[in-house]
Amino acid sequence: MSVNFSNLTAKQKKVYTVIESYISRNGIPPTVREIGELVGEKTPGAVQGILNRLEQKGAIKRQIGAARSIQLVSSDDEMYASPEFIPEIKKINARNIDDIANIYNIEKYHPVSPDALSEGGHYFMIRCPDDGLAESGFSSRDFIFVNTSADLKDGDIVLIFYNSRSLLRYYHEEENGTLTLKADYSIIEKESFTKDEVRIIGK
C-alpha cells in the first residue's frame, strides 16, 4: 500500500480503516453519513474535513458530485473495482417505453458493485411493478435490476409491458413462436402472447 500512515492523525487513520473495512464487506464505498455513524462523529462537516485531509495526503480519491465515490489509493492501483452507476427509473408508460432511461425519467443514480451485476449489459433499477411473483420472492416493495440487453432463455424472469402495464413474469418461448409469460399470482387472465402484442423490457 502506498499510503504513509505515519503522516496520518489518529482520526484520519480511524476513518481510513473504517472505509477500507466497509469496502471489503460491501464492495462499494460508504457515504459520509455512514462513515460518521461508524466512527462516532455526528457532524457531517467534521467527516468531510477528515476526508478532505485524507485526499490532500493522497490516501483517498473522490469523484465530485457522486455519493459513494471514495477510492482508497494503493500500490495495486485500486483496492476494489470501481462501482457501476445504475439509473433508478421513475416509471414505465406508453409514452416513454422506447426511451425509458431518458434524463427526465431518472430519479437518481445508485453506485453498485460490479459483482452484483452477474452478466454484462445495460441495466436500470425500478420498483417491482406488482406482486405477481410474490411466491418467488419479489414484492412490490422491492427494487429490481433490469438488464435490457441480456439474452433470454426459458425460465428467466423478465419485466414486460402489456396493455399499458409493466409486469414481472417467467419467460418461456414456445415452438410455434408464441410466448408464455407466467406469474405466481396474475392480475390479468392471460399467459400466452404473440411477440407483437407484448414488449419484453429486459431480464
| Domain boundaries along the sequence of the chain | 5-78, 84-202
How would residue 141 be classed by pLDDT, with cut points 50, 70 and 90?
A: confident
pLDDT for 79 beyond 50:
no
Size of the chain in residues = 203
DSSP codes joined into one string, 82-99: PPEEEEEE----TTTTT-
18 with 77: CB under 8 angstroms?
A: no
pLDDT confidence of residue 113: 72
| 84-202 has CATH 2.130.10.10 classification | no
Buried b (16+ CB within 10 A) or exposed e, 100-113: beeeebeeebbbbe
Distance of CA 97 to the CA centre of its chain: 21
pLDDT confidence of residue 71: 85
pLDDT for 118 beyond 80:
no
pLDDT for 12 beyond 80:
yes
How would residue 156 be classed by pLDDT, with cut points 50, 70 and 90?
A: very high
Where are the strands (E) in the chain, listed by range? Answer: 60-61, 71-74, 77-78, 84-89, 106-112, 123-127, 143-147, 157-162, 165-173, 179-182, 192-193, 199-202
State how far the alpha carbon of 3 is from the alpha carbons of 56, 58, 76, 135, in Å.
12, 7, 12, 49
More confident call, 73 vs 1:
73
User: What number does CATH give the domain 5-78?
Assistant: 1.10.10.10
Closest CA to 29 of 82, 70, 85: 70
How would residue 203 be classed by pLDDT, with cut points 50, 70 and 90?
A: very high
126 with 88: CB under 8 angstroms?
A: yes
pLDDT for 198 beyond 90:
yes
| Strand, helix or coil for residue 13 | helix
pLDDT confidence of residue 80: 52
pLDDT confidence of residue 103: 84
How would residue 179 be classed by pLDDT, with cut points 50, 70 and 90?
A: very high
More confident call, 88 vs 79:
88
pLDDT for 178 beyond 80:
yes
Q: Provide mean pLDDT across the span 15-30.
A: 84
